[in-house]
Each structure stands twice: as C-alpha cells, then as structure tokens.
Amino acid sequence: MATMTALAVPMTGANRDALALSRDQLVREPLGGRTWRGTLTCRGDGLCTAVAVEIRFLDRNGRVMGGFSGRVERLAPGGGLELQSRLPAGATGLQIQSLRWTTGGEQVERGPYAPWRPGESG
C-alpha cells in the first residue's frame, strides 16, 4: 500500500524553507516491483530556478545500488518537481545526494541528506 508523507529538507538562512520533499510515496506493483514517487515543492515566496536533485537508492547496509536525477528550469512558489523511478531489487533506502537551485540571485547547494526508507518519511 502506498503512503504519502512529508519530509522537510533542512535548509539554513533565508532559503531554509525554499524547497521541501512534500511527497514520498512507495507503490508496490502486482508482480513484486516497487516504484518510488516524490514531489519537490517550492515553499518559498520567490521563484527557484535551475533546480536539480540527485537521489540515490541504498541497500540495507547503506551501499549505493543506483539512483536518478530530476531537473527543472523554473519552479514557482507552490510549484512542484515530480520525481519517479523504479527501485532496484533489494533497495531499502533513499538519500538526497545533492540539491541545487538559484533564488534571488543566490546559488544554493545542499546535501547529502540523511537516508530514509521509501514511503516512511516525516
């Protein structure tokens, strides 16, 4: 069964609330596959541009099993970057490796963040 919860991406300074992972959903497919879906939402008051996120899939020992990235040129306040990828067999964790964006003329780069189990953030 899929769950939807929010994972606040910790930031500092004026940009600390600019972006948040507002959806963390794990979908179990009838034939045993799993798909992760997430939404990176612009929660700030200003436009975020050149938004890029890299996410890793981890095994139970924290080793990298794969990953994917998402990008969008413009993310207006309230807008979201939809993310989706099949999880490799044996993947038990996700980790935002890097998160980059520009807002108000300032380039921001964060990461890596602490890993979490897909569908269990928040």
Return the CATH number at 50.
Answer: 2.60.40.10
Report pLDDT for 119: 83
Counting the structural domains of the chain, the total is: 1
Report pLDDT for 120: 76
Q: Does residue 116 fall inside a structural domain?
A: no
Exposed e or buried b for every residue in 8-18, given b needs 16+ CB within 10 A?
ebebeeebeeb
pLDDT greater than 50 at residue 11: no
Q: Does residue 117 fall inside a structural domain?
A: no
Instruction: Tell me, rounded to whole angstroms, the distance of Cα 70 from its chain centroid.
Output: 9
Q: Does residue 7 fall inside a structural domain?
A: no
Report pLDDT for 18: 86
Q: Does residue 71 fall inside a structural domain?
A: yes
Q: Does residue 119 fall inside a structural domain?
A: no
Note down the domain range covering 85.
Answer: 13-110
Q: Which two tokens stand for residue 22?
A: 């507002």
The whole-model pTM stands at 0.81
Q: Which two tokens stand for residue 102?
A: 């520009």
Q: Does residue 63 fall inside a structural domain?
A: yes
Q: Does residue 122 fall inside a structural domain?
A: no
Q: Does residue 6 fall inside a structural domain?
A: no
pLDDT single digits (tens) 62-107: 999 999 999 999 999 999 999 999 999 999 999 999 999 999 889 9
Report pLDDT for 4: 30
Using 50, 70 and 90 to split pLDDT, how confident is the model at 16? low
